[in-house]
Amino acid sequence: MKGGTQIVDRPAERAVLVGIAYASRRDEEPGIGAEESLRELERLARTAGVEPVATVTQIVRRITPATYIGTGKVLELKEAVATAGAGVVLVDESLSPAQQRNLTEQLNVKVLDRSQLILDIFAARARSLEGKLQVELAQLEYLLPRLTRAWTHLSRQAGGVGTRGPGETQLEVDRRRVRERIVRLRRRLGEVERTRELHRQERASVPYVTIALVGYTNAGKSTLMNALTHAGVMVEDKLFATLDPTVRRLDLPRGERALLVDTVGFIHRLPHQLIEAFKSTLEEVRRADLLVHVVDATSPEAEEQIRVVERVLDEIGAGATPTVLAWNKMDRAEAEPSRIVVAERAHLVGSYAIAAATGRGLAELLAGIERWIERERVRLEVAVPASRGDLVAWLHRGARVVAEHYSNGTAEITALATPKMAAQIQKRLRELACSISPTV
């Protein structure tokens, strides 16, 4: 009680889920199966603050252009909505604007497809300025083709799933104003991206290997990040718990240092608008020297989730980056992970069974990362002025010095360095007009 008024939480919005299964395997998208996709939709709904109260499954033999599902199934769905007292229908597919509009009119409740639900979750979880701008841009580009006069009778002001961010006002604005807002957002994101690029350049000047954590959402990337670096990243048993990238220093067992980057998780049928809007954030992944692909070993769809992540990595230009598989949650897994996936992929350089929450296997994972760094090193023989103690100290910090000899005012140094560090050394010493002779 406060001032005579009792404050109570708004009850969760009730939703009916619509699962789609195809009569022919040829019509299905490669990746997660229909049953697992529906279970994932349920987790997405709960993450968005919605309570799933009923499920309707449609076996699709032929997609109905007007409503995606058949007329009979629409009537069944309408009855399920009335019986459950639901206020929203969540469809486990991407609907066209016409299909979404027609379903909304016939069911007389909000109808959201999978893409809009994911966008809504991103809108709720974005914290940084860049993240909020990226999500709003993705939402507006998704909503733009859906802004038709036929939608003006609907109210989006009541709150609940699907109404966060720009979605609250877009039904009252015309296409011209939306396009103008998109242009402004892109311009603002360009300014933010220039700042992020400066930060990347600053990190690039630090002679450390960059390692990015990637994986399916809720695989445990943030838990692993905290376990390895004590970063304090928020951890929740929900999808897309963190969106903004986090960079921390990682100390390896033999004294090597690296930069560890935690990024947004991927998911089955991640909306294209999000991939486009988050490309500046995903650039952290593309520029990494090594990827640690975190996999939920308890998931029956683990290998399909691996393929989903690999498709997104290919799309952003990081598909060929050397990768370590980290099979997480092994403290709860019923069996050892499959090793077949390692043999099938040339870019995979190791596979480790870990439990980030308990620390199991982390020492082996770090040792494997360090062995990869050692294999990647090149041999450098450089000569620098002995008076440049700052440069000599920089070489000691960023490379492994194996021999050092001073003569006639010159320090002759033999070192083992990563390709990234070797390139920095070459650039810096060229600027100083010092001699350098790299050998592999």
Domains of the chain: 13-120 (3.40.50.11060), 127-190 (no CATH), 206-375 (3.40.50.300), 377-439 (3.30.70.240)
Structure tokens at 183: 């242009």
Looking up tokens 């140094």 gives: 413
Distance in Å from the first CA to the final CA of the chain: 72
Q: Which residue from 230, 287, 236 is spatially nearest to 265, judged by alpha carbons?
A: 236
Phi-psi category of residue 398: left, alpha or beta, with phi > 0 → left and psi -120 to 50 → alpha: alpha
The pLDDT tens digits for 174-215 are 677 888 888 998 888 888 778 777 766 666 666 678 899 999
Q: What is the distance between the alpha carbons of residues 433 and 440, in angstroms, rounded to a whole number?
A: 22
pLDDT at 3 over 50: no
DSSP per-residue string spanning 21-55: EESSGGGSPSSS-HHHHHHHHHHHHHHTTEEEEEE
User: Counting runs of H as helices and runs of E as strands, what totals does the chain give?
Assistant: 14, 14
pLDDT of residue 102: 93
Q: What is the distance between the alpha carbons of residues 265 and 78, in angstroms, rounded to a whole number?
A: 34
Cα dihedral value 211, 250, 201, 198, nearest 10: 110
**Residue 214: burial class (beta carbons within 10 Å; 0-12, 13-18, 19+):** buried
Give residues with Cβ within 8 angstroms of 185, minimum separation 6.
133, 136, 137, 140
pLDDT of residue 148: 58
The pLDDT tens digits for 125-138 are 777 777 788 888 88
Contacts of 70-78 with C-beta under 8 Å, sequence gap 24+, read 74/103, 74/106, 74/107, 77/16, 77/18, 77/107, 78/106, 78/107
Q: What is the CA radius of gyration of the chain?
A: 26
The pLDDT tens digits for 234-290 are 556 556 655 667 888 898 888 778 889 888 788 887 777 777 767 666 777 888 889
pLDDT of residue 214: 93
The pLDDT tens digits for 317-376 are 888 899 999 999 998 877 666 654 554 566 888 899 999 999 999 999 999 999 998 888
Structure tokens at 306: 């691996």
pTM score of the predicted model: 0.77
Neighbours of 364 (CB within 10 A): 13
Asked if residues 395 and 372 have their Cβ atoms less than 8 Å apart, the reply is: no
- Does an H or E element contain 286, and which? helix 279-286
Strand partners, 88: 15, 110
Q: What is the distance between the alpha carbons of residues 321 and 377, in angstroms, rounded to a whole number?
A: 16
pLDDT of residue 1: 42
Q: What is the distance between the alpha carbons of residues 398 and 415, in angstroms, rounded to a whole number?
A: 10
Strand partners, 352: 326
Of 152 and 356, the structure prediction assigns the larger pLDDT to: 356
Helix/strand/coil percentages in the chain, nearest 5: 45, 25, 35
